Structure 1
C-alpha cells in the first residue's frame, strides 16, 4: 500500500491512502489520523489501511479525490529518530580515491552510520531554505525505511522484520560545513550520481578538479524512482533552493 501525509495546518498532518498509480487518494481518518498512530498499532491498523488501498485501486472508494503531491508534508514530519547509513560502498570508494585515502576495512562489513535531525522533515515539493549558498548545498537521493520497534543487537532477520514502509528521500547536505563538524568529533546533523559530491569526485579523478558547483538559490532538484513498467514508485521529490527570508 502507499501512504502520504497531507497538510492540514497541524504539525503532524493528515494521513491519506494513495492509489498504486498515484492518481487518487482517500483520507484515512476513519482508521487513523496520523502515520505515527499506525506505527504504534501496526498489526491492528495496517490491515485496515490495506483494505482501503485495495478498494481505492479498484475505483470503489466512495470519497476518493485526485492526489496532489504539492499538498504533502513529509510522511513523518516528526520522527523519533533518523539514522543514516553509508551503505553504497562505491560512493565511499570514489570519495576516498579523490582524497587519496584508504577505505577502512570495517566499512565493507559495518556501514558508517550517524544520527541526524528528525524534528523538521520537509515535504516532497517544499522549498529547501538555506541561510547561505556558501555552505555548499547538495542533494542526496536515498532510499529510506520506516521501522517499528527494533530490538538492541538485532539480527539482520530481526531488522528486516521491523521494516514497515519504504520511501524515497532527499538528504540535504551542507558540504562546506561537514569537515568542521567532523573535526569536533560529533556526528554532523545536516551537514552520489545521486548527489553533487559524487559527481565532483568523479570530475576530480578524471580532470584533476571539480567543475560542477553546489546548488544555488533558484536551482531545483527532482528525485524519482521508476519501476520496470516505467511508472513512478513513490512519486517525485521536487524541491527548489530558496534563501532564508
Structure 2
C-alpha cells in the first residue's frame, strides 16, 4: 500500500492513497495519516482494499493525477522523530572529519538522537538557510513509521510495529555541529527541518527486499544533476530497525506516528559513492590530505530516490534546491 498527504491548506493536509505506479491518487474521506496511525488496525484493511481497487482500475472515476509539488511530507509533523546512525562506515568517517573518535560502544549500542518534528519540509521544498557558512549538507536515509510501541519492546517483537517505510533527506549544518556537541548536550540548531519522500509504503510493497528490519536496495542520490552515490541500504546497516526500536524503548514507549531514521546510508565499497558530502570530504582528506568538495551552495540541488529491482520508484523522489533564507 502506498500513502501520501495532499496539501489542502491545513497544517496536516489530507490523506490520499497512491497507485503503485505513482501516477494517480484517491482521497480518503478527509482524514490524515496521523489519524490512521493512531488506530492502524481499524483503518489499514479498508485502505488496502481501496488501494487494490485503485490499481485494478475500479476507481477511475475517483482518481486524480499525482503532482508531487502538491504533496506535503506523508506526516507533515510528528510526535517523535528519532534518527539513528546505524551505518558504522559513516560514523567512523564523519567522526574523523571533525577529529573525534568513534564511541567505544560503536558495535554494541546504537547511536540515536531526537530531532525536531514540529514541521517537516515537503519533498520538493527548498532547503533555506541564512548562510552558506553553516556547512549545508544532505543526508540520504531510510525511515520507518511505527504504531504505538510499548516500553521494553524486544527486537523480536519490534517488526510488527513497523507499519510504513519511507526515505528522507536529514539536512545537517556541518560547521555548526562541533561547537554544539562540545556542550555535551546533543544536536539542535545544527539539525534543521528534515524532508521526507512523497510516498510512504507498507513493508509488503518491498517484497524480498524487506528482511531483518532492513531495506535491501540501493538508495540513489543525485547532486547537481550527477550521480553522487547509490549504496545498498541493507547489508551495511549494522543495527536494523528492529534493534533501533529495542534500543529506544528501553525506558519509554513510542507513540503512534513515531518516525525512526536509519542514519546516512553508507557502504565501505567506494564505488557505491556516498549519501552525504561530509563522507566524501573525509575520503578526500584520507587520500590527499585535503578536503576538496565544498558543502552546499545556494542554487545547488539534490535528488534522493529508491527503485525496486524493476526500476520502479518506490517512494517517489525527494527533489530540493538550496536557497537563501530571508529574515
TM range (shorter): over 0.9
Kept in 2, the 8 Å contact 1:150–1:158? The answer is: no
Q: State the distance in 2 between where 1:96 and 1:177 align.
A: 14
Aligned length: 243
DSSP-derived class of the 1:164 partner = strand
- Could you list the runs of 4 or more consecutive aligned residues of structure 1 that deviate by over 6 angstroms after TM superposition? none
Q: Which residue of 1 aligns with 2:187?
A: 188
Contact 1:72 1:124 in 2 (8 A): yes
Within a 5 Å distance, the mapping from 1:93-242 to structure 2 comes to 93-98=92-97, 102-189=101-188, 190-191=190-191, 192=264, 193-242=274-323
Q: Decide which moves more: 154-163 or 9-18.
A: 154-163
Gaps of 5+ in 2: 192-263, 265-273
Segments of structure 1 that go 5 or more residues without pairing to the other structure are none
SS in structure 2 at match of 1:221: strand
| 1:11-52 deviations in Å (ceiling 9; x for gaps) | 1011110011111111112xx510000001110101111111
Given that 1:221 and 1:240 are in contact with CA atoms closer than 8 Å, whether structure 2 keeps it comes out as yes
Partner of 1:46: 44
SS in 2 for 1:105: coil
TM-score (norm 2): 0.72
* Superposition map of 1:71-82 within 5 A: 71-82=70-81
With normalisation by structure 1, the TM-score equals 0.95
Q: Is the 8 Å Cα contact of residues 25 and 65 (structure 1) preserved in structure 2? A: yes
Structure number with the bigger relative contact order (C-alpha 8 A, sep ≥ 6) is: 2
Aligned-residue CA RMSD (Å): 1.4
Rounded to whole Å, the distance in 2 between the matches of 1:182 and 1:24 is 45
Q: Which residue is equivalent to 1:28? A: 28
The DSSP-based 3-state class of the residue aligned with 1:242 is strand
Q: Distance in 2 between matches of 1:69 and 1:222?
A: 13
Is the CA contact (8 Å cut-off) linking 2:97 and 2:278 kept in structure 1? no
The offset of 1:98, in angstroms, is 5.0
Pairwise CA distance, 1:104: 2.7
**1: CA distance, partners of 2:170 / 2:13:** 21
Question: Is residue 98–residue 178 contact of structure 2 (8 Å, CA) maintained in 1?
Answer: no
